[in-house]
Structure 1
Amino acid sequence: MILENFITANFSIISTLIIGSVNLLTPFITKEDSNIRNILLLLISTIFLINIIIIDWLFFHGIRANIMLFAFDHYAFGLHLEAVGIIFLNLLGSLWICALLYTTKYLAINNIANSSRFLFFFNIIILMGALLSLSANLFTMFCCYELLTLTTIPLIIHVKVGAIYDKLYQYLKILMGSSMLLFFPAILIIYAKVDHGNFIYDGFIQDNFSDTQAIFLFLMFIFGISKAAKYPLHGWLPAAMIASYPVSALLHAVVVVKAGLFCIFKIIIYVFGLKYLHSLFTPFNWIILLPTITIFYSAIKGLQANNIKMILAYSTINQLALALLSAFMFTQKSIAAAILHMVSHSMTKICLFFAAGNYYSINHTSQIKDLLGIKVVMPKTSLIMLIASLSLIGLPPFAGFISKFYIMLAAAQQQQLLIMVIIAISTILSALYMTKILIFIYRANATTNHDSENKLPSSMLVSIIICIVGVVGFFLIQKLIGRFLVYI
């Protein structure tokens, strides 16, 4: 029976990845923007999600998996099931369907050429994220992390606008430079000393390194994983905003920045261990200064920006730092709240980028001043922008409020008054820069000459409505996530 369960779990993982791989070929089956192609893309991504739900069922019934695909020396490329990875995998599977529903028609209405090639790389990024979510050790994590960076390049430069190659250089310089100079060397040090980098609950660093060495290793990981966009290694994210709105949504909401948080969360839990890190940074937890600086810096930059994408980019940096602030309290409740915030931000941010993409598709707006009075002719999109903005700020009953509330509870439990004050100030600043956008959208303008929302393909509106339902009904999603969090 145990052997059968093991084989079933392994088969579910392999079949999920194979199904995801099939969607790499689907964009080339028919001509661009054909209904057959779009339906097949959605169908396969739906089957992908169904396989993930089967994995969920197996996990809840105590069935685990461990697959080694290949190895050389003590470096193995392996996959396994654990709670944090399954949460990330579910997030990818759910948002992939919404993203395809939106993106296929966005490409058509904006006359973006070579949409099949675009969708190929769009899908391969999801597949890289899935592999990353299932990584069983540091070596596998690093390989998938780097492949994820490389596979985003064709999407960022797909539409040739402005100083695109200068922006791409900045993007790669920070992401690849930090990972090769800090992330990878930290992994090499661990493998040289421990002979493995397997993810083990409560970690293994304490038994193999001194406290000082452990702190240096931890800092190497924190700064080496720059996809989490910490100051001063955040510049790649605004630089990547030269890409189209579906790509921006993919970077911010679905895979890339969330991959950064995911890697850090796994390293905290399964390499160092929460108890050991909590003891290392007690009584003075100076490590929270890193996300704190990022929170205030990004809020100020968001207030200064007038470009829609730049405001949304700095808001992402701000919210990622909030998740790290929670994680750096190093308790089970704080890491659970951080994971919850990662998911709530994904659902909120995909709504914001898709709404902004709707505005752009109709009126090619890039500055907030161009949104003046647009709610009159685009009421559905404007309502979704309003709800998603309130969620990002952290107002009840939306997703952002729920995750921030749990961060506050975790801080209160540790009597971390400073963290509670930082979150409160961050919320006020978020309200200020998001209100900048909303004021223009909802300000009366008798001379509005924007084109009508009715010109949008219905699937673009359906996609964003599905996502906003998740933001509004996040209290139900939070209960499902809570079932996984008990295993952390």
Structure 2
Amino acid sequence: MMTSPMPLNFLIISTMLLGMINLVAPFFTKEDSKIRSFFLLSISIFFLFNVIIIDDLFINGTVIKFTLLDIGKYSIAFSLEPLGLIFLTMLAALWIPALLYTIKFLTINHITNSSKYLFFVNCCILLGCIVALSANLITMFIAYELLTLCTIPLIVHHFDKKTLAGLNKYLKILLLSGIILFLPAIIVIYSKIGTGTFIGGGFIKDYFSDSAAVFLLLFFIFGISKAALYPLHGWLPAAMVASYPVSALLHAVVVVKTGLFCIYKVLFYVFGLDYLQYLFSDYNWLVILPAITILYSSLQALKCNEIKMILAYSTINQLSIALISAFLFTPKGLAAALIHMISHSFSKICLFYSAGNFYSLHKTYYINDLTGVNKTMPKTSAIFLIATLSLIGIPPFAGFISKFYIMVAAANQQNLLVMIVIAVSSLFSAFYMLKVLGFIYEPVKIKNNNTEKTVPIFMFISLVLCIIFVICFFFIQQIINIFLTFM
């Protein structure tokens, strides 16, 4: 590979600048104007093109590194590597449908201060991109914590006692775990080694005893609580007091996926898979942690009747499916975990946006409010159905492909526990998601059933774009595999 000259380093700077321009774009004109929408979407499209150029340069052998601030052994630095580019490209691709949907959701539901709302939505996505490009632990940690803070105005955009209680639990778990566990782990590494720069294959092996390394790993896993591992999962259902675009942002696009991605980077670039296999060579008990979370979240989802809560516990479930694959500590296991992270993003954003459509026209909160909604909203109901099948793992959709990869990775390790847990999880997912579909497609007699209730066209286009990703995921997975060859 060739190291990039300074002009190519500008690609990272220009990516950041485009994201920052989109922060101020909501304030260019009055709320809900066509000009504002044009600016927001145009900048997001340019951002995606910029990321595609970066992807192409990386695949063709260019190494791009950029240091923004250097203070001794600490630096704010960015670089291109395969895991980060997969995550960055996902964020760039989903930024466009996220804005398409959010812009009109705010209008149809009469949500005020939409410019401020869109500013923080864009801010969250941009911070996710910074995490993706981070070259070291300090850069990743700063962006990770800023992301938590930027979600606060979105969660409490409609302020009342319920949202305040949800925010309180949300912040307690995310901020405290970051300060008490995540940050100390980083400080220990910098103090002991003098650097936190990510290196393929890891860099801590010769600096810590085996037991100290295991404790350090646990600090990272639980300190990065955006991955919602039990018992630090409670922030995620608590955040469901927010509106549907924010819920989708938390569950599908940025927040939880940033948690997964940070753990992936720590496993691969801090510890290294070979070292982790050595540490857990006698018995890999770490897979028990996500297994417990999978079973717990499945049971909780079965008990829920509130739409958002079912989707929230479903997200916790799917995150731990990705983690259990990553905790196999093999290249195939980590690759499958990455693919599942992407497939779940597309499937879950379809579910949240479909539920947001139902809410916008019918003010649905509980699953019994969805009774017969397919009669008035057949297209949205069909998209919800396809996304549900994907989440369960029915072929040929995205969820099946990623779960198949996880099963293959577990079979290669002869890890029967992981294979059983994935199968049981899919069975539970079928139970609680088909319960929702049962209400949506329940036969009812209504008048004027030839006229479909419709949401603004932007909201529906957003859904169509996302469901195309779910249906055509086989081709997306092929692109992901190209990046994985560089690991």
Equivalent pair of 1:393/1:430 in contact (CA under 8 Å): yes
Q: Please state if 1:383 is matched with 2:382.
A: yes
Match of 1:194 in 2: 193
Match of 2:232 in 1: 233
How far is 1:160 from its partner?
Answer: 2.3
Question: CA-to-partner distance for each residue in 1:275-308, whole Å, 9 max, x for gaps?
Answer: 1001111131100110000000000000000000
Equivalent pair of 1:359/1:365 in contact (CA under 8 Å): yes
Alignment map for 1:56-135 (pairs within 5 Å)? 56-135=55-134
Alignment map for 1:186-265 (pairs within 5 Å)? 186-265=185-264
In structure 2, relative to structure 1, the CA distance for the partners of 1:9 and 1:283 (3 Å cut) is farther
Question: CA-to-partner distance for each residue in 1:69-110, whole Å, 9 max, x for gaps?
Answer: 112231111111000000000010000000001110000000
Match of 1:320 in 2: 319
How far is 1:11 from its partner?
Answer: 1.1
Match of 2:181 in 1: 182
Q: TM-score, normalised by structure 1?
A: 0.98
Equivalent pairs: percent with the same residue? 58
Equivalent pair of 2:377/2:454 in contact (CA under 8 Å): no
In structure 2, relative to structure 1, the CA distance for the partners of 1:192 and 1:475 (3 Å cut) is same
Aligned mates of 1:344, 1:486 — CA distance in 2: 19
Secondary structure in 1 aligned to 2:69?
strand
Aligned mates of 1:301, 1:450 — CA distance in 2: 35
Q: Please state if 1:10 is matched with 2:9.
A: yes
In structure 2, relative to structure 1, the CA distance for the partners of 1:154 and 1:6 (3 Å cut) is same
- Moved beyond 3 Å, runs of 4+: 447-455
Alignment map for 1:139-154 (pairs within 5 Å)? 139-154=138-153
Aligned mates of 2:5, 2:346 — CA distance in 1: 33
Match of 1:332 in 2: 331
Match of 2:281 in 1: 282
Aligned mates of 2:28, 2:450 — CA distance in 1: 34
Equivalent pair of 2:2/2:61 in contact (CA under 8 Å): no
Equivalent pair of 1:228/1:260 in contact (CA under 8 Å): yes
How far is 1:155 from its partner?
Answer: 0.5
Larger deviation: 160-169 or 369-378?
A: 160-169
How far is 1:408 from its partner?
Answer: 0.3
Aligned mates of 1:8, 1:425 — CA distance in 2: 51
Aligned mates of 1:336, 1:402 — CA distance in 2: 12
How far is 1:159 from its partner?
Answer: 1.6
Equivalent pair of 1:161/1:242 in contact (CA under 8 Å): no
Aligned-partner residue type, residue 53 of structure 2:
I
How far is 1:451 from its partner?
Answer: 12
Aligned mates of 1:421, 1:137 — CA distance in 2: 36
In structure 2, relative to structure 1, the CA distance for the partners of 1:260 and 1:448 (3 Å cut) is farther
In structure 2, relative to structure 1, the CA distance for the partners of 1:373 and 1:203 (3 Å cut) is same
Secondary structure in 1 aligned to 2:75?
strand
In structure 2, relative to structure 1, the CA distance for the partners of 1:451 and 1:102 (3 Å cut) is farther
Match of 2:455 in 1: 456
In structure 2, relative to structure 1, the CA distance for the partners of 1:388 and 1:72 (3 Å cut) is same
In structure 2, relative to structure 1, the CA distance for the partners of 1:368 and 1:83 (3 Å cut) is same
Aligned-partner residue type, residue 15 of structure 1:
S
Equivalent pair of 2:361/2:453 in contact (CA under 8 Å): no
Question: CA-to-partner distance for each residue in 1:197-249, whole Å, 9 max, x for gaps?
Answer: 01001101111111011000000000000000000000000000000000000
What is the number of residues matched between the two proteins? 487
Aligned mates of 1:301, 1:461 — CA distance in 2: 31
Secondary structure in 2 aligned to 1:24?
helix
Larger deviation: 315-324 or 161-170?
A: 161-170
Q: Please state if 1:409 is matched with 2:408.
A: yes
Aligned mates of 1:455, 1:61 — CA distance in 2: 45
Question: CA-to-partner distance for each residue in 1:108-139, whole Å, 9 max, x for gaps?
Answer: 00000000010011111111111110000001
Ranges in structure 2 where 5+ consecutive residues have no aligned partner:
none
Aligned-partner residue type, residue 57 of structure 2:
L
How far is 1:65 from its partner?
Answer: 1.4
Aligned-partner residue type, residue 99 of structure 1:
A
Ranges in structure 1 where 5+ consecutive residues have no aligned partner:
none
Secondary structure in 2 aligned to 1:69?
strand
Equivalent pair of 1:21/1:127 in contact (CA under 8 Å): yes
Aligned-partner residue type, residue 471 of structure 2:
V
Match of 1:24 in 2: 23
Alignment map for 1:305-384 (pairs within 5 Å)? 305-384=304-383
Aligned mates of 1:151, 1:233 — CA distance in 2: 20
Aligned mates of 1:20, 1:450 — CA distance in 2: 44
Secondary structure in 1 aligned to 2:23?
coil
Aligned mates of 2:448, 2:409 — CA distance in 1: 49
Match of 2:421 in 1: 422
Q: TM-score, normalised by structure 2?
A: 0.98
In structure 2, relative to structure 1, the CA distance for the partners of 1:182 and 1:451 (3 Å cut) is farther
How far is 1:39 from its partner?
Answer: 1.2
Secondary structure in 2 aligned to 1:292?
helix
Aligned mates of 2:318, 2:89 — CA distance in 1: 20
